[in-house]
Amino acid sequence: ENNLFKDIVAHAKEYGFVYQSSEIYDGLQAVYDYGPYGAELKKNIKELWWNTMTRFHDDIVGLDSAIFMHPDTWKASGHIDSFNDPMIDNKDSKKRYRADVLIEDKAAAYEKDGDKDKAQALLDKMGQLMTDEDMEGLRNLIIEEGIKCPVSGTDNWTEVRQFNLMFSTQIGSVADDSNKIYLRPETAQGIFVNFLNVQKTARMKVPFGIAQIGKAFRNEIVARQFIFRMREFEQMEMQFFVRPGEELDWYEKWRDTRMKWHKALGIPENKLKFHIHEKLAHYANAAVDVEFEFPFGFKEIEGIHSRTDFDLKRHMEVSKKKIQYFDPEISKNYIPYVVETSVGCDRLFLMLMCNAFTEEVTGEEGNEKKRIYLKFKPALAPVKAAVLPLTKKDGLPEKAREIYKQLKSMHNVVYEEAASIGKRYTRQDLIGTPYCIAVDHQTLEDDTVTIRDRDTTSQERMSIDDAIKFINDKCSF
Ligand code: ATP
């Protein structure tokens, strides 16, 4: 299973999807760059999310707020005081770990050995210690369980300390503490502080939502599993403002709507599940994660939370500005309640890569052929079609270029004439291009081309006009 994940990571690099940041300087941990095909895929994910959230919901509008915010924002939101992870160092290896993750790994090991009850008991114990913020208790649990450092193999642990995940920097030219600002650890607060601006200027009536896509930064202690946990990543969040008392209905609606969305990406039903939070954050009255089955297990990709009026109320208290909504239908002033959907773009990217990566063995025993291809839904694929002249002569390139030009204005398509047609097909399979259009001698006679399907490798002949219609049709959502 982990070999599968290694193959996926290697594939992502080899074929221009994801590179380690600053690789020539030996890389920067948990920071990644997206290559040409990765950038296209990521753009497609964001576009799809944005379009479904804003264009297809008349009651949701978009926002693009700044990464830097007034430092009081983070006082109000609780991030300065409590956006912490418990960290522990191993004295021998000098490696730093998240105490809760070490314990979770141990529980996973119990579960793997078939001891589900023991795993659950351990997780419950840890959950309680985390809720109580009992750092000494966490350390004792690590010692009791005999958890060893994965690197040094020893259990020579330091005490557990709270570690704040926000990055900070200075604004202006004077480096003193009063100029300290943070890189936002979530996009949501930009939405909360703009609640009234948006409501008034876009003339919105509760219930309505605000959607935003943007970078977020967290100084994650354990950065593992490739782009699953990054220090710089992108979130796609939507805060939906509702009448107090109606939030749980909206919560259920959004929970189901978002699950449908993930399925529409082509993710099979059995690879997605809900994980209901039993222990709720103090500001939430309902919370659920959507989880996807990565090669390393079911993990969160999106959170849907009913956050009550916690955030708006806190901003009102700290800013001393009145943040209220007058509801003309019931002639009442109130602080709206919030249901949020929060998904990581990079995690969706990883989900789609894992889901698309397909290895197929064909042919007879002793003479097997392995084919690797990325089975993206056509609308999400980085390249929608490749136009390929069979040979470089007899006017085929010119004809192929005409078709390429026609498609180019609507889709990201490529034209390629080098190498054998088989090699060119393989190359497109590896980056997940759903269709290849081959131009041959018959094309010159009757204006027909063949379209090769990535998944079946079967070919169909049709007129150029039909081929263009076909691509338009198959590559839209
Ligand atoms: P986790 O428990 O995995 O740390 P979280 O519960 O802290 O995540 P939220 O704060 O709810 O995550 O953020 C919402 C979404 O943002 C997550 O579901 C995930 O998709 C994404 N996300 C959060 N942290 C990261 C990260 N370090 N790297 C990539 N994506 C992230």
- For residue 406, the CA-to-ligand 1 centroid distance in Å is 41
Q: How far is the CA of 342 from the centre of ligand 1 (A)?
A: 8
Burial class for 473, CB neighbours closer than 10 Å (0-12, 13-18, 19+): exposed
Q: How far is ligand 1, taken at its centre, from the CA of residue 174, in Å?
A: 33
Check residue 200 and give its pLDDT: 97
User: In one letter, which amino acid is 170?
Assistant: Q
235 lines ligand 1 (CB under 6 A): yes
347 is annotated as contributing to ligand binding: yes
Instruction: Please state the pTM of the whole predicted model.
Output: 0.93
How far is ligand 1, taken at its centre, from the CA of residue 88, in Å?
A: 21
User: Do the annotations mark residue 359 as ligand-binding?
Assistant: no
Assess whether the C-beta atom of 303 lies below 6 angstroms from ligand 1. Answer: yes
Task: Give the torsion sign (CA, 135, 136, 140, 143).
Answer: positive
Q: Output the six-digit token pair for 462.
A: 């049709």
Instruction: Choose one of 32, 307, 342 to mutate for the ligand 1 pocket test, by most ligand atoms within 8 angstroms of C-beta.
Output: 342
Indicate the angle between helix axes 396-408 and 464-474, nearest 10 degrees. 40
Contacts of 57 (CB under 8 A, 6+ apart): 209
Residue whose structure tokens are 């990581």: 344
For residue 199, what pLDDT is reported?
A: 98
The reported pLDDT for the residue numbered 1 is 55
Task: Confirm or reject: Cβ of 340 under 6 Å from ligand 1.
Answer: no
Domains of the chain, with CATH numbers? 2-69+183-353 (3.30.930.10), 84-164 (3.30.40.230), 383-474 (3.40.50.800)
pLDDT for residue 190: 98
**Choice from 21, 213, 288, 347 to test ligand 1 binding pocket (greatest atom count within 8 A of CB):** 347
- Distance between CA atoms of residues 147 and 389, nearest Å: 60
Closest ligand 1 atom to 230 CA: 28
30 lines ligand 1 (CB under 6 A): no
Given this model, what pLDDT does residue 224 score? 74
- 345 known ligand binder: yes
| Residue 300 beta carbon below 6 angstroms from any ligand 1 atom | yes
| Interacting residues of 181 by C-beta distance below 8 A, sequence separation 6+ | 68, 69, 70, 71, 168, 169, 170, 171
pLDDT averages per 10-residue partition of the chain, 477 residues:
90 98 95 98 98 96 98 96 94 93 93 92 92 93 95 94 95 81 97 98 97 97 87 98 97 98 97 90 91 95 97 97 96 97 98 97 87 97 98 96 96 96 97 98 97 97 97 93
- Dist CA 71 CA 181 (whole Å): 5
β-pairing verdict for 435-439 and 385-389: parallel
Quote the pLDDT of residue 83.
93
Cβ 302 under 6 angstroms from ligand 1: yes
Structure tokens at 264: 């529409």
CA distance to 39, 382, 464, 473, per residue, from 416 (Å):
20, 16, 18, 23
Is the Cβ atom of 389 under 6 angstroms away from ligand 1? Answer: no
CB of residue 85 inside a 6 A radius of ligand 1 = no
The atom of ligand 1 lying closest to the CA of 348 is 20
